[in-house]
Amino acid sequence: MELTDKLDLRSGRPVWPAPEVMTSDPLPDRCDIAIVGAGIMGAMLADRLSQDGHDVLLLDRRSPAHGSTVASTALVQWAADTPLLHLTRRWGAERAVRSWRLMHRAVVNLDANIRDRGLACDWERQPELYLSGNLLDEAGLRTEGERRRAAGLPSRFLEGEEVSARFNLPQRAGLLSEDAFGLNPVALTQGLLERARNAGAAIVHPIEATGLEQGKEAVSVRCSDGTAVRASQVILASGYEISPWFLPDAFTRSATFAVATAPGTAPTWQGDAMIWEAADPYLYARRTSDDRILIGGGDIPGVDSTKRDALLPTKQGWLEAQGARLLGVERLRAEYAWAAVFGSSPDGLPALGRAANTERIWLAYGFGGNGITFARLAAELLPGALAGAPDGDLQLFDPYRFET
């Protein structure tokens, strides 16, 4: 069994400009922390850990940001895929509320970090509008809003008439939440990587980490070119190309689809909100910085790229039609359409923590619709654990929390 899966991660024509191919650094003999994966999760961790003074190495079989990052629709929000109401039923109110507060804090801190350090990534504040559906009807959405408000989270319930009047949308009840953002995920990832490199991190690609050998004082990371690197700690942040050695089967993968209209297409709704449906199958829409309408959803189970790619034309038509319904317009026409692997968990939360039966190997998998938020969360919670002083909140995202 290989250390990580190898998948065809995406197809079609994503809306983001192709990432620049970064130069590769020489492979060192040893480092403090080796991170396997140079997508948004690896970049966020490398930035934080290198700023903290650690000698960081990133390894990726592709050029950085050339995997799932390009396919991201880049909605940065703190509300998880699983409603707070449902998460409370699974874990209890105290644990559910704490998880959501941590995600909100992560988004607020990421906003401050991007603005303070001037990262150019089309970062824009866009409130989130969560509309009633078959997952939460109007009554359920009202209760969800009450739970969020009681937790101190910035959400407010809107009657259908107010949603229609304020956003020029079909009349449906909704929750309006602040502290959500849109951005260019490729630009953010590459900006974080450059900042990490400037702080001393080494970024080596294309090279594959093929195996790990655990010792008392270090982990030997075997590489595809026959070399090995000794690392005091290793973080597996390989995105949807998971490590089957360590990540439990509770974390599943599917295919998701997205389309984007031509640039300069004026938003058809007022208030510039990112729109979600509390529904299964779900649908969402947002505006990009160059005034495209981006619509996503229509997931199917599994990672069969042949099946996924054959469905892309049909899914494009479905997203165009459902997007028109969502926004209350006669027709939408996409200029870009793409498909990609997507990961989920039973509670909509990521897998962050120590790998099973190891002392020096850690998992950082942002499974769920909030991948960028989860990357920031990992950057806030994992450094202390790597230093031997774990934050107690890390256990909320334990990769093995679903095992009995």
Quick one: pLDDT at residue 404?
A: 66
Give every CB contact of residue 321 below 8 A, 6+ residues apart in sequence: none
Give every CB contact of residue 232 below 8 A, 6+ residues apart in sequence: 31, 32, 33, 217, 218, 219, 360
- pLDDT-above-90 percentage for the chain: 92
Q: Is the pLDDT of residue 355 over 90?
A: yes
What are the beta bridge partners of residue 157? 175
- Residue 90 inside a domain? The answer is no
- pLDDT-above-70 percentage for the chain: 100
What are the beta bridge partners of residue 283? 297
Domain identity same for 164 and 310? yes
Q: Return d(Cα 134, Cα 113) in angstroms, integer.
A: 37
- Residue 299 inside a domain? The answer is yes
Structure tokens at 396: 């909320």
Domain identity same for 190 and 334? no
Domain identity same for 34 and 20? yes
- Residue 244 inside a domain? The answer is yes
Show which of 325, 344, 363 is a domain's final residue.
Answer: 344
Cα–Cα distance list, 28 to 63, 177, 219, 262 (Å): 18, 46, 14, 45
Query: What order of strands is seen across the sheet that includes strand 181-182?
Result: 75-76, 181-182, 124-125
Quick one: pLDDT at residue 272?
A: 85
Domain identity same for 46 and 137? no
Q: Is the pLDDT of residue 268 over 80?
A: no
Domain identity same for 334 and 296? yes
Q: Mean per-residue pLDDT for 199-204?
A: 98
- Residue 81 inside a domain? The answer is no
Quick one: pLDDT at residue 281?
A: 87
Quick one: pLDDT at residue 2?
A: 87
Please write the tens of the pLDDT for every residue from 107-152: 999 999 999 999 999 999 999 999 999 999 999 999 999 999 999 9
The 3-class SS string of 360-388 reads CEEEEECCCCCHHHHHHHHHHHHHHHHCC
The total of structural domains in the chain comes to 2
Question: Can you tell me which residue has the tokens 């709704």?
Answer: 269
Exposure string (b/e) for 153-186, b if CB count within 10 Å is 16 or more?
A: bbbebbebeebbebbebeebbbbbbebbbbbbbb
Structure tokens at 240: 């949807």
- Residue 317 inside a domain? The answer is yes
Domain identity same for 195 and 255? no
Contact present, 35 and 271 (Cβ < 8 Å): no
- At residue 269 the predicted structure's pLDDT band, cuts being 50, 70 and 90, is confident
Domain identity same for 240 and 198? yes
CATH code assigned at 167: 3.30.9.10
Peptide bond just before 206 cis, omega within 30 deg: yes
- Residue 300 inside a domain? The answer is yes
CATH code assigned at 367: 3.50.50.60
- Residue 116 inside a domain? The answer is no
Instruction: Round the average pLDDT of the chain to a whole number and report it.
Output: 95
Residues in the chain: 404
Quick one: pLDDT at residue 225?
A: 93
Domain identity same for 360 and 244? yes
For residue 8, the 8-state DSSP code is -
Domain identity same for 323 and 264? yes
Domain identity same for 196 and 336? no
Show which of 320, 344, 368 is a domain's final residue.
Answer: 344
Q: Return d(Cα 281, Cα 303) in angstroms, integer.
A: 18
Q: Return d(Cα 284, Cα 256) in angstroms, integer.
A: 12
Which residue has better confidence, 8 or 2? 8
DSSP string, 30-51: EEEEEEE--SHHHHHHHHHHHH
The 3-class SS string of 142-158 reads HHHHHHHHHCCCCEEEE
Quick one: pLDDT at residue 178?
A: 97
- Residue 308 inside a domain? The answer is yes
Domain identity same for 166 and 285? yes
Q: Which domain holds residue 309?
A: 123-181+250-344
Please write the tens of the pLDDT for every residue from 38-51: 999 999 999 999 99
Show which of 307, 324, 344 is a domain's final residue.
Answer: 344
Domain identity same for 202 and 299? no
Quick one: pLDDT at residue 270?
A: 82
Half-sphere exposure of 308 (CA within 13 A, CB side): 26
Give every CB contact of residue 93 below 8 A, 6+ residues apart in sequence: none
